[in-house]
Structure 1
Amino acid sequence: MSTVEEKKDCTQARAALEEYLHRELCAEDAADVRAHLDSCPECSAEHHVGETLTSALQGACKDRAPEELRERLLASLRAAKAQHG
């Protein structure tokens, strides 16, 4: 494969990487991206970074604020609404 073709493949794979990470690609497109990742260390490394970030963000979204903080915020919002509302 020529360098130009490799760059084209990398560009296409990287453009589809976010959708690939979120399993939003059709089976054929996902297979194409997976095949490219298997043969390209640079894109595979970028995919690993994307997986790590996606996992970290999903974990962070599962955390809840402490109940005391939640109650204080709600009380503050209610007071602001009553004052302006």
Structure 2
Amino acid sequence: MTDCGCDKAKAELEEYLHRELSDGDFQDISEHLATCQDCSDEHLIGLTITEKVRKACQEKAPEELRSAVLGRLSQISS
């Protein structure tokens, strides 16, 4: 186990949230988060924001708005 420290954990938090780190770096940060309340709090904030954005991106425009936009695009490109 290597404690990566707060600087590394905070600098790589976004990559950690999206599992974009090597297995070793991911493990180091996981271990650090388990023992550091400040970094763990930052991680929780990041998780919350990531989840809110994910949910917001699943919303779809009403069908009549979609049709209106596609119709207008069709007029413009003609």
Q: Same fold (TM over 0.5)?
A: yes
Report the number of matched residues: 76
**Whose Rg is larger?**
1
Following TM superposition, by how much is the alpha carbon of 1:28 offset from its aligned partner in structure 2, in angstroms?
A: 1.1
Runs of 4+, deviation exceeding 4 Å: none
2:25 equivalent to 1:63: no
Letter in 2 for 1:54: T
Aligned to 2:13: 17
> Greater helix share, 1 or 2?
1
2:13 equivalent to 1:28: no
Q: TM-score, normalised by structure 2?
A: 0.88
Following TM superposition, by how much is the alpha carbon of 1:74 offset from its aligned partner in structure 2, in angstroms?
A: 0.6
Aligned counterparts of 1:40 and 1:46: Cα–Cα separation in 2? 10
2:41 equivalent to 1:45: yes
In percent, how many aligned pairs have the same letter?
A: 45
Q: TM-score, normalised by structure 1?
A: 0.82
